Amino acid sequence: MKRKTFLKSTAAVLGSSMLPSLSFADETKKNSIRFAHLTDIHVKPGLIPETGMAKALHHAQQQKVDFIINGGDSINDALGATKQKTQEQWDIFKTILKKENSLSVYHTIGNHDIWGWFVKNEKPDNDRLYGKIWVTETLELKKRYYNFKKGNWNFIVLDSTQLNPEGGYIGKLDEEQLTWLQEVLSKIPKTEFICIVSHIPILSICSSLFFKKTEANGDLLIKRNLMHTDFFSLKNLFLNYPQIKVCISGHIHLQDEVRYLGINYFCNGAVSGNWWNGSFQEFAPSYAIMELFNDGTVKRTMIPYE
């Protein structure tokens, strides 16, 4: 079946089987900002990923959210993919998003959205689209990191993934981005609140549980590509800004919540679960509903959407 026809009929089926929207509103807390955080969609050609993405989008829109934050890893992989395969994945992502979603979407760049870093042979580093340019342009981002505001809440969307000269990638902010972050934070009034979005968790326990094992000597290790390696400097920076109430991330495909020094760090699972093959460890394909209240408190609800 042609993708277009297929998605059309899927949408019809999904529409008729929608559950009534769940109510998470706490009566004592009015004027909350309510959004869906869909992360690690990892869409690729195929029935399951394509219908899965459409289903998650429909489900989220039924929850009366104001907007969507896409946490990154929108496509399966561009890091090691050819130009053609990368184009195919972005075409699918954009087509489904346009067709199956009517809300504003704020995108985050995930490691797998970066083109060419791991392409063997014929390295495409002379190509204009190499690295983060392609994803930035495709998702129409003004910059690879940016901020926006909703009511009394400021959102800061970071670019977590940097090329590691020793191989692979590393979770951290580059110098330029850190300077920008310091500037943005310094301008936010004390009476407002802040939500920080990153693809790779700034702090999470599930980053150490991804490989489901300890080192031979019993140590539980957190790899440099599974949590921000600049955590200590970010923590010190954040201590100056009590308005920072919540940090949300994806990348790990596991879910956790860590409250540390007054900040709630939520790692919000994956829409693709075990990369479109059911649950990853104990976690079914899910997305998060985030509620940010006008007293600075926060509520996260994980939604298995299947």
Residues engaged in binding Zn ion (CB under 5 A)? 73, 110-111, 251
- Give the CA-trace dihedral at 171, 175, 179, 185, to 10 degrees: 10
Q: Closer to Zn ion by CB, 92 or 267: give it.
A: 267
Nearest residue (beta carbon) to Zn ion? 251
The tokens describing 299, both together, are: 């509520």
Min dist CB 150 to Zn ion, Å, is 25
Report CA Rg, the chain. 19
- The Cα 206–Cα 281 span in angstroms is 11
- Cβ at position 79, least distance to Zn ion in Å: 10
| 55 versus 251: smaller Cβ distance to Zn ion | 251
Q: Give the residue with the Cβ less far from Zn ion, 55 or 253.
A: 253
Q: Are 171 and 109 in contact (CB under 8 A)?
A: no
Helices (H) and strands (E) in the chain, counts: 6, 13
DSSP for residue 17: T
The distance of closest approach from Cβ of residue 251 to Zn ion in the complex, given in angstroms and rounded to an integer, is 4
32 or 111: CB nearest Zn ion: 111
Nearer to Zn ion (CB atom), residue 50 or residue 73: 73
Q: How far is the CB of 22 from Zn ion (least distance, A)?
A: 28
The smaller minimum CB distance to Zn ion, of residues 285 and 296, is found at 285
Least Å distance, CB 227 to Zn ion, is 12
What minimum distance in Å lies between the beta carbon of 221 and Zn ion? 18
For 234, the token pair is 């970010």
List Cβ neighbours of 230 (8 Å cut-off, separation of 6 or more): 172, 173, 178
> Which lies closer to Zn ion via its Cβ, residue 73 or residue 100?
73
Q: Are 287 and 271 in contact (CB under 8 A)?
A: yes
Smallest distance, Å, CB 190 to Zn ion? 34
Closest by CA position to 193, among listed 245, 251, 235, 142? 245
Collapsing DSSP to helix, strand or coil, 267 comes out as strand
In angstroms, rounded to a whole number, what is the distance separating the alpha carbons of residues 208 and 222? 5
Instruction: For the sheet with 298-304, list strands across it.
Output: 105-107, 67-70, 33-38, 286-292, 298-304
Q: Which is nearer to Zn ion, 193 or 265 (CB)?
A: 265
* DSSP single-letter state for residue 258: E
Minimum CB distance to Zn ion, residue 75 (Å): 11
Assigned token pair, 82: 């050819």
Helix 3-16 vs helix 47-61: crossing angle, to nearest 10: 40
